Amino acid sequence: MNFLEIKDVNKTYETKQVLHDISISVPKQSIYGLLGPNGAGKTTLIRILNQITMPDSGQIFLDGKPLSKNDIANIGYLPEERGLYKKMKVSEQAIYLAQLKGMDSKEADKRLRHWFIKFGIQNWWDKKVEELSKGMQQKIQFIVTVIHEPKLLIFDEPFSGFDPINVNLLKNEILELREKGATILFSTHNMASVEELCDNIMLINQGRKILEGRVSDIKQQYKQHKYDVVYKPFDGSDVTRLTVNATNPNDLVRDIIEKGEIVSLNEILPSMNDIFINLVSASNK
Amino acid sequence: MKIGIIIKREYLTRVKKRSFIILTILAPLFFAALMFLPAILMLNSEKFDQKKSIAVCDESTLFVGKFDNTDVNTFIYIDNDINEAKNLVREGVYDGVLYIPRTELNLPVNAEIYSMRQIPMTLSEYINSTMQKTIEHQKLLASGIDPEIVKAAHTTINVQSIRMSEDESVEKKTYSEFEFLLGIVLAMVIYFVIFIFGGQVMRGVIEEKTNRIIEVIVSSVKPFELMMGKIIGIALVGLTQFLLWGVLTLGIYGIVSTFLPVQDVFSTGSVMSEQIVETAANADSEELLTQVFDVIHSINFKAILWCFLFYFIGGYFLYSAMFAAIGAAVDSETDTQQFATPISMLLIIPMVCSTVIANAPDSVLSIWLSMIPFTSPVAMMLRIPFGVPIWQVVVSVALLFATFIVFTWLAGKVYRTGILMYGKKVSWKEIFKWIKY
């Protein structure tokens, strides 16, 4: 079942149409990657989902019902351009932002303490944000995004500014949130994390959708029938590695068996990075 | 209500700031010090004044015995030559020497005081006025006029202006000097208050924009709610500050006046000046006191207080909405100038005209400026101590409130677009376009 359904959304700023009939379906409890080069319209789409801006036309359904003001409490949003009040205490700030999402301050306090223990940052409670490093602030920002336990999470470039250890921590948290039932929309340029995390993706360029589907299906679809072959030739020479084009793996195996002993044979699937670059540059022409 | 949460944050973060607490406590102390310190110093002036002995080298012999010795100053008449007298000062026998040279034809009009260290101003003023009186006395005698007649002829005129009304029984004494002063002070206060708190709104908006928290917040609340929450929260900070200032000032006044007889404090001023220039119009202190009470009674403080409150709220909301829109349109505080200046000019106009308005509070200019919503908060404050017809106040306040509602709505539109706009140099044209979105 699809948790988030966007149908034929259009948006024009002044004379520039930034979204053309965008439709996407995000299955419940999945991680959905929103990909595209800078200026493709990702942020506009995300702002429309957050009801910061309104679409000119089109519909959005959340859990089968049209998106409404009440859904603010059901959405958690980590924007790409993010920050906190520098002079405010970490805990006060997090509780304030949770209250704006409709939470009761006592409940927010309780959950915040839980998160602080989980991340081992209890001594930050009374610190001001300006006393924290950038990476620390990002952790707080993550907590603020998820503290009201939203059903839909929107992360815009969540890993920028994190060190590898924190990126890993964050990835695990995102996966855990999905396990617990959250649906995650995830916008990034980091293709490695897309392959690692996303179940489905949509590729958008110049306001138009150019690709949508399961990551595994897309890789199959764009595979170029290349194989990585390692074999030990019968003539006694060294082990040889080859990249071979072949329409049929059986034929390939047959060919190699004649030449030597197969050590390994793998199909080379295109990386999301390659697919991204190829499709975007093709659609820009 | 989410706007309540926003108001609470805006209010508490500011009220808890060290600068707010310091300013709230220090300002009344500062005013109290300004009020009481000179009086306290004067009361204890002997402790600060050094005793001075002045040698008088009077070649004209006109001033012998004219200078009176006081606790502080001693005058010693000497017959020595001025150069010898100077040497005596150098040796430290006297603190100074007053040299009045001989004149052949006319009465002397010049004198010199030689001293190693600066002579106190009060002393030289005393010498000046004593000599002046003596010479005047001499001149009158020379012309055959009895100085007593001149003294008796000296008159102080007091023109009392009384404002009439349709109702014959209501006649009110007015004290336009006091009303003038009160008007100027009130106008200054409202002018600064609007700028200070309006500026806080603008900086608050810029802060949210530059630290990029804005996008998180507008995903939870409407931009308009955020803007209004900020404006209302800061207004409450302002009102809290006024209230605390009032309470603290009264408190300090109460404490000081119990330890210090206020009557003494205020009468010393006139005692001092009498010592210096001995005015002929030696106003009876009791008469003065009743006059002060008269002035105070002639002013309708309750009306002024209410007007101040209404015009503060109206003016503050109008200007802070505009300042909020500016804050949203720019990327940093340094870019605000081109937008803030024209808006500030609107508020400066009545300030520039303040003396003109207070001089003729019922002139056409005054009435117009106190009706136009952008200038009315300041202009009306200038007029209000003189008494303003009720209908004018009602119309002016109604116009002000109607304008601030319209402007808050327009500012909301600019704000909504501006806060999510980064790295773009915004022009006035652009801002008007945002209003139309």
* A205-259 pLDDT tens trace: 988 998 899 988 888 888 888 888 898 888 888 888 888 888 888 888 888 888 8
User: CA nearest B205 in A: which residue?
Assistant: A85
What's the mean pLDDT when you consider all of chain B?
83
Q: Which residue has the higher pLDDT, A29 or B119?
A: A29
Question: Does B302 lie at the interface with A, CB-CB under 8 angstroms?
Answer: no
Give tens-digit pLDDT for B221-271.
Answer: 999 999 999 999 999 999 999 889 888 878 887 777 777 655 554 544 444
**Average pLDDT estimate for B348-376:** 90
H helices, E strands: number in chain B: 18, 6
Question: Do A83 and B211 count as a contact with CB atoms less than 8 A apart?
Answer: yes
Candidates B14, B207, B213, B437: best to mutate against A (most CBs of A within 10 A) is B213
Write the residue in A52, A88, A144 that is nearest to B218 by C-beta.
Answer: A52
Instruction: Give the rounded percent of residues in chain A with a pLDDT score beyond 90.
Output: 46
Asked if A45 contacts A23 with a C-beta cutoff of 8 angstroms, the reply is: no
Which regions of chain A does DSSP assign to beta strands (E)? Answer: 2-13, 16-27, 31-35, 57-62, 65-66, 75-78, 152-156, 183-187, 200-205, 208-214, 226-233, 240-245, 260-268
Q: Give the model's pLDDT for residue B276.
A: 38
Question: Coil, strand or helix: which one is B52?
Answer: strand
**Average pLDDT estimate for B332-356:** 88
Q: Give the model's pLDDT for residue B318.
A: 94
Interface predicted TM-score of the whole assembly (ipTM), two decimals: 0.85
A23-37, A171-185, A260-274: segment of lowest average pLDDT: A260-274
Give tens-digit pLDDT for A42-101.
Answer: 989 999 999 988 899 999 999 989 998 888 889 999 998 888 999 899 999 999 999 999
Beta-carbon contacts of residue A141 (< 8 Å; ≥ 6 apart): A78, A82, A84, B216
For residue B322, pLDDT over 80 is answered with: yes
**Which amino acid is it at A141?**
Q
Question: Does B220 lie at the interface with A, CB-CB under 8 angstroms?
Answer: yes
Question: Does A81 lie at the interface with B, CB-CB under 8 angstroms?
Answer: yes
Integer Cα distance of A103 and B29 in angstroms: 43
Degrees, nearest 5: CA angle B205-B206-B212: 95
Whole-number Cα distances in Å, B358 to B177, B350, B380:
10, 11, 10
Question: Do A85 and B212 count as a contact with CB atoms less than 8 A apart?
Answer: no
Instruction: Give the rounded percent of residues in chain B with a pLDDT score beyond 90.
Output: 27
Q: Give the model's pLDDT for residue B287.
A: 66
**Average pLDDT estimate for B69-96:** 84
Q: Give the model's pLDDT for residue B169.
A: 66
User: CA nearest B209 in A: which residue?
Assistant: A83
Question: Does A87 lie at the interface with B, CB-CB under 8 angstroms?
Answer: yes
State the virtual CA torsion across B344, B346, B348, B353 in degrees, nearest 10: 180
What's the mean pLDDT when you consider all of chain A?
89
Write the residue in B9, B213, B420 that is nearest to A83 by C-beta.
Answer: B213
- Please give the structure tokens belonging to residue A263: 């050590």
Question: Does A79 lie at the interface with B, CB-CB under 8 angstroms?
Answer: yes
What sign results for the dihedral spanned by CA atoms B224, B225, B229, B230? negative
A136-145, B199-208, B252-261: segment of lowest average pLDDT: B252-261
Question: Does B424 lie at the interface with A, CB-CB under 8 angstroms?
Answer: no
Q: Which of A267, A252, A265, A282 has its CA nearest to residue A220?
A: A267
For residue B136, pLDDT over 90 is answered with: no
Question: Does B221 lie at the interface with A, CB-CB under 8 angstroms?
Answer: yes
For residue B299, pLDDT over 90 is answered with: no
Which chain A positions have a beta carbon within 8 Å of B215's beta carbon? Answer: 52, 77, 79, 81-82
Write the residue in A82, A99, A102 that is nearest to B212 by C-beta.
Answer: A82
User: CA nearest B13 in A: which residue?
Assistant: A88
For residue B273, pLDDT over 80 is answered with: no
**Average pLDDT estimate for B269-298:** 54
